[in-house]
Homo-oligomer: A and B are copies of this chain.
Amino acid sequence: MNSVRTDAAEATDLVPGLRAVLLTGDSERLAALLADLRPQALLGVWYELEAEERERVLSALPPEPAAELLSNLSSEEQPEILESMASLQVAEMLEELSPDDLADTLQALEAYDPERSREVRGFLDPATLAVADALTGYDEEEAGGLMTPEFISVRATMTAAQVLTFLRRAAPDAETIYYLYVVDADQRLKGVLSLRQLIVSPPEARVQEMMSPDIISIRTDTDQEEVARIMADYDLSVLPVLDDDDRLVGIVTVDDVLDVVTEEATEDIHRMGGAPIDIDYVRANPFLLFRKRASWLVLLVVSMTLTFNVINHYEHILAEVVILAAFIPLLIGTGGNVGAQVATLVVRALATRELELRDYFRVLWKELKTGMLLGLAFGLFMTGYVFFFQSEPRIAVALGITMVLIALSANLVGASLPFLFRKLGIDPALTSSPGITTVMDVLGLLIYFRVVIWVLGPLLTGEAAPAP
């Protein structure tokens, strides 16, 4: 029995053997060794190799496994590795790719080296090229960019026997033969017939009797997150894609969508952690990481200088009662934590469509109550804690009130900002924990000093009466 677990171990074991063969320069032994490897084992070995070794391995592979390997590499890796190979050999490999993978690879090559791309295209079959080019017009993050044109379509008047005969011929080129799409002369979708239904039907049954006319379909411009949601909600493994004229132009299969869900989750997680970085972390070098991360951190640092301005403005208060400075991190830090927590819950619920814009006031009302509870709990704690260290009860009361107001406002800010971002057409995930923390640092300080002046005013020489 083949267990998947063996692949990783297998890969590590294989590297020394492969290296030994590469060193001998014996291309026949190399080809024989590679022929024994399963695609995923080969991919496991791949990342253990040096750039130069990778080129030799790819060149030694027959076009089909080479294409399979290539389709698993990222759009940054693909053109780099193709750079060293002869254009004819590249073209032979590309011919083996599925149309959607070919379209992606050609786009990557075009962006990396336009001249090389022209050369490779010259060696490709014009028909293959036409199918791939039809796909490159679509946005990568929409159904058009995910779909493959290799579906099977049948006519409503065919019999089960005719469809089966047709299938035997068409099957090798199709992405899936488990769902057959019934179209009219204008390529308009009329129904779907599952292979399952076909198998259990008598040979003379007509497609129109067997098919289901009730089809869920998407458009070429349906966003990939929406595609994933529809597939999950309806438990579908394939979705037909229609163009603006309702013509069937492709299908999206669930295995492509599985990758999309993981990618989208990574994007959301990065954004929410204040790292909206579109790079491969593992392979990025420190300079790239610095450039990408700093651009976002600079925004936060500059916003954070507002905290200096606030404290500087109220410096005379701290000069009089120095101990007040000691509570600053506890107060504003808790504000940031409360805000980040609720923002996380709201952002995720917006992303999974459990919440929509119209739910804002319901969420606000709920978080007003939750925020009051959190504020009262932490406010009481704060009053007790301060009183323990500081016998002056006025200071303890001022700190307690500040904590109530900070926790409550953090809760409202954290619940509101994601909705505001969605309303403005910005990804709510960009509110981010660091972003909320920064907002709450500034807001928390303003609340703190206003409350201190209000409660302790008469005790402070500079503030004879409560400020207006």
Contact = CB atoms under 8 A, between A and B. Distances in A.
A348 B429 CA distance: 15
Interface in A244-270: 246, 253-255, 257-259, 261-262, 265-266, 268-270
A374 B230 contact: no
A369 interface: yes
A305 B354 CA distance: 36
A312 to B, nearest CB: 5
B266 A269 contact: no
Nearest to A365: B286
Given A334-B304, A348-B269, A370 B232 contact: no
Given A199-B167, A272-B269, A281-B345, A333 B304 contact: yes
Nearest to A170: B200
B308 A330 contact: yes
B277 A258 contact: no
Interface string A333-371: 110111011111111110010110001000000110110
Interface in A172-192: 172, 177-178, 188-189
A147 to B, nearest CB: 15
Given A4-B216, A273-B344, A374 B294 contact: yes
A337 B272 CA distance: 11
A189 B345 CA distance: 44
A332 B336 CA distance: 12
A318 B172 CA distance: 77
Contacts of A323: 312, 315
A273 B433 contact: yes
Nearest to A233: B40
A404 interface: no
Contact of A266 (B38, B334, B352): B352
A94 interface: no
A20 interface: no
Contacts of A282: 349, 354-355, 359
B214 A2 contact: yes
A323 to B, nearest CB: 7
Contacts of A230: 4
B438 A337 contact: yes
Interface in A279-316: 280-282, 285-287, 289-290, 293-294, 296-297, 300-301, 304-305, 307-308, 311-312, 315
Contacts of A327: 308
Interface stretch (A22-30, A57-65, A121-129, A234-242): A234-242
Given A272-B272, A337-B437, A199 B2 contact: no
Q: Is the interface of A mostly helix, strand, loop or mixed?
A: helix
B171 A270 contact: no
Nearest to A3: B217
A330 B308 CA distance: 7
A345 B281 CA distance: 7
Nearest to A326: B311
A231 interface: yes
B237 A337 contact: no
Candidate in A40, A344, A352 with the most chain B CB atoms within 10 angstroms: A344
A328 interface: yes
Given A215-B2, A301-B334, A373-B287, A434 B341 contact: yes
A218 B219 CA distance: 36
Contacts of A308: 326-327, 329-330, 389
Given A4-B218, A273-B343, 8 more contacts: A167-B199, A228-B262, A272-B273, A273-B344, A281-B355, A301-B378, A337-B437, A340-B433
Interface of A: 1-4, 38, 40, 164, 167-168, 171-172, 177-178, 188-189, 195-196, 199-200, 214-219, 228, 230-237, 242, 246, 253-255, 257-259, 261-262, 265-266, 268-270, 272-275, 277, 280-282, 285-287, 289-290, 293-294, 296-297, 300-301, 304-305, 307-308, 311-312, 315, 318-319, 322-323, 325-330, 332-334, 336-338, 340-349, 352, 354-355, 359, 366-367, 369-370, 373-374, 377-378, 381, 385, 389, 433-434, 437-438, 441, 445
17 contacts: A2-B216, A2-B217, A171-B196, A171-B200, A178-B196, A235-B255, A265-B269, A269-B272, A270-B348, A275-B345, A282-B355, A289-B366, A289-B370, A329-B329, A336-B336, A337-B434, A433-B433
